Chains A and B, each alone.
Chain A
């Protein structure tokens, strides 16, 4: 079945780069997403990548997609304390109903 896996916790120092990793199982996914959730709030879309792309860069964010290994990563350059949040990886699977499959979320802790 469809499944998305992430590590649960990552701690970095302010100014360092953060890399959050994700693996997924459904090779028919056309889009993969990274969402950010701040404490007590809803999720916000950070970025997404189309499945025929290997990389997408958006300011401090770089998404890498290895479709062969079904591996997705999010790199945040020059990580700031405001980046502390939970980051969710998601895929849209084989349906077009908008049923995204989410990972468990990675809590990013940024130390000053």
Chain B
């Protein structure tokens, strides 16, 4: 079945370490997004990419990096520069020029020890 796969589901990191979250989609969607979710704050956009080899910063890009070398893949690296990285991270994709419906993965929960 088509969908978005995020891994790992749970991740623990020591302070000062970089960590990469994986996001893969087989929906043939053009656009992909990374959101961060904190309790009571809704979803905040970190980075997005509308086409391969191109991406833009969202509202809270500091301390994060991404790449889009393949249409199917949009990994997110949480660097040691991110001051408060403990959160639930959600990857999403969208078939551009449709109704704007986002398809979400199941999320990755990152905890910094």
Contacts and interface: CB of A to CB of B under 8 A. Distances in A.
Task: Assign chain A's interface to a size class.
Answer: 20 to 34
Interface string A3-32: 010001000000000000000000000110
Interface residues of B, number: 29
Given A88-B42, A102-B42, A43 B104 contact: yes
Contact of B31 (A4, A33, A40, A98): A98
Chain A interface, >50% SS class:
loop
Interchain residue pairs A-B with the least CB separation, the first 8:
A42-B104, A102-B43, A104-B42, A102-B42, A98-B94, A43-B104, A92-B100, A98-B31
Given A31-B100, A41-B107, A42-B105, A99 B41 contact: no
Contacts of A35: 102
A99 B59 CA distance: 10
Contacts, number: 64
B10 to A, nearest CB: 10
B106 A99 contact: no
Given A92-B100, A98-B102, A100-B102, A40 B107 contact: yes
Nearest to A103: B42
B58 A99 contact: yes
Nearest to A97: B50
Nearest to B10: A40
A42 B96 contact: no
A102 to B, nearest CB: 4
